[in-house]
A and B are shown apart, each in its own frame.
Chain A
Amino acid sequence: MNQLLASSDPLFAHGVNGVVLLIVLVKVLVGFGALMGSVVIMIWFERKAISDMQSRIGPQRWGPFGLLQTLADGLKLIGKEDLVPAEADRFVFKLAPYLVLIPALITFALIPIGGTLHIAGHAVMLQVANPPMGILLMLAMSGVSVYGVMLAGWSSGSKYPLLSSVRASAQMISYEAALGMTIVTIILATGSLSTHNIVTAQGGGIWHWNIIRLGVIPFVVFLIAITAELNRPPFDVVEAESELVGGFHTEYSSFRFAVFFLAEFMNTITMSAIIVTLFLGGPAGWIPNVAHLKWVFPIIWFVLKTTGFAFAYVWFRAALPRFRYDQLMDLGWKRLIPLSLGWMLVVAGFLIAPAWGFLMAAAVFMAWTLLTRAFTLGQSREVGSEAVLPVVGERPIPGRTIRKFTDGES
């Protein structure tokens, strides 16, 4: 067990004792505090930036520049009545908010926000945890967070949340495939799955950052896919107000609604940080030669880059209209998945030898032509009984018999 721990984090190299436990505890608390603090600032920042873009003033009453508005809103929410709809599945209804919150917290724990410090003879990595399967754990958590949204919608026992949760599950699964493909591309180029190694592999200057080293395509695919995974605009069909009232959390109030709200903004920050980690070298950047303070600059670089993406998300929300549901599915399945798969094959080819790379590129180009032809044929297909395949023989069980079992006697 100790060996397993030591292989991924130098902190555990000399076994686990009181000091090491204390360091881990402090890391967890600092990480949690930093995330909570940045969520409060993010909510204020989003409201302020959006209102600037829409020529409004935005929050301004509580604290300087309205900075305390989020705290005031939080207090107000907790003071409200805690409603559970009569039709709701009570256990699942109460469980769902935490199924969204916990994956958000775990994902943030994987992100390296700085280099390695040396405190009292212990090497301390500035990330809460560095499991050997780091980036896969991030994928797993984004998969698990689907449950929170799905079950929240279903357990509400109401029409619109249910529609929203069905949309959410379809959308999040569709975009996970493209997300996984781009992550595979990064893993191929890095040769490791841990987030720490992914960052150190990009340490040699801006030309080694994955955004440039892998060509810009994986970055673009990842950015789109992760925005859809977050259910943020322009992919927020899950909570489209004009169609679904408030989406999956329509029936939630008080503290549970606050948890959903918190998790959503937490995810926005975490995913911005994930993009920075995977494509922009994480905390990598120019470090001025200042004694004793060198460790501060990577953190500043990391925060700056993450803020850039957080701003981009706010910008998307203000600038882009919402996708229609079928457009969203088309983009995911017909564009992003083939694109990321093809690009992954080309990168894999070039990693072996240039000749293989060009061969792969040619193969991918041919497949792309074929696929485009198939899509145009599929779109021009007339829907009707003549257009589909003719019936071959009888089905194993006649429809009437099946219906008898499913619908009862009729």
Chain B
Amino acid sequence: MIGATYALASILVFVTAALLILVGAVGVITLKNPVHSALSLIMTLFGVAVAFVAQGADFLAAVEIIVYAGAIVVLFLFVIMFLGVDRKEHVHVEPLVGQRAFAAVGVVVTVGGLITLMARSHWVTGAMSVSTKGVALASGQDNVKQLGTAVFTTYLFAFEATAVLLVIAVVGAVLLARRERALQSEEVEVEA
């Protein structure tokens, strides 16, 4: 059945991508060393990029690597290195009471929701794209054009809202960082 619909090459690509994603994702939560976790997160991101290419979304694949693997995880590592990974972790301490139970409920709800969606809705129909109303994504140059049109016409408000959100986050971060310094200098004066 599957072999009739998809070529062998596509199946191989899919299996490779899926393995990269799953092994990486499991590694992120099971590995003890945070740097190793970050490395396996990169593996997951590469798997997602391969999956994007297989779906014809070349541009998203490239951006996935540039933005997530090339910048965001680098910043994760940056922070991990500054905080020091050699410090002893208190995994048994629960900052929120009963967070493990909440986490378990969250996992069940998310996985259940995803399975229900896959089983019932027509969102996952095997069509190449949702935003182009089922038309397959064009390759190369036209791929960018399709994405640009979608982002700057159909989903303009969502796009602008995201931009505003990011600006707010940056301003907030700067504000918090500065407030921290005021607190520190006051503490120093008190101690002196």
Same complex for A and B? Answer yes
Interface residues of A, Cβ cutoff 8 Å to B = 1, 3-4, 7-8, 89, 91-92, 131-133, 136-137, 139-140, 142-144, 146-147, 150-151, 154-155, 162, 165-166, 169-170, 172-173, 176, 180, 191-194, 384-385, 388-392, 395, 399, 405, 408
Contact across chains for A89 and B70 when beta carbons are under 8 A apart: no
Contact across chains for B77 and A169 when beta carbons are under 8 A apart: yes
Closest 4 CB pairs of A and B: A143-B70, A132-B140, A136-B62, A140-B65
Determine which of A132, A173, A191 lies in contact with B75 in the assembled complex, contact meaning CB atoms within 8 Å. A173
Count CB-based A-B contacts (< 8 Å).
119
Residue of B nearest to A95 (CB): B39
Contact across chains for A144 and B93 when beta carbons are under 8 A apart: no
Interface residues of B, Cβ cutoff 8 Å to A = 7, 9-10, 33, 35-36, 39, 42, 56, 58-59, 61-63, 65-66, 69-71, 74-75, 77-78, 81-82, 88, 90, 93, 95, 139-141, 143-144, 175, 178-179, 181-183, 185-186, 189
Contact across chains for A194 and B140 when beta carbons are under 8 A apart: yes
Determine which of A1, A192, A388 lies in contact with B141 in the assembled complex, contact meaning CB atoms within 8 Å. A192
Q: A137-B62, A147-B77, A169-B75 are in contact. List 12 more A-B contacts (CB 8 A).
A: A1-B9, A1-B10, A89-B33, A92-B35, A139-B70, A154-B35, A180-B66, A194-B140, A385-B186, A391-B182, A395-B179, A395-B183
Determine which of B66, B179, B183 lies in contact with A136 in the assembled complex, contact meaning CB atoms within 8 Å. B66
A405 to B140 Cα, complex, angstroms: 50
Residue of A nearest to B93 (CB): A405
Contact across chains for B140 and A388 when beta carbons are under 8 A apart: no
A88 to B62 Cα, complex, angstroms: 33
Residues of B within 8 A of A385 (CB): 181-182, 185-186, 189
Secondary structure call for the A interface: helix
Determine which of B39, B63, B139, B183 lies in contact with A7 in the assembled complex, contact meaning CB atoms within 8 Å. B139
Residue of B nearest to A16 (CB): B9
Contact across chains for B71 and A143 when beta carbons are under 8 A apart: yes
How far apart are B83's CB and chain A's nearest CB, in angstroms? 9
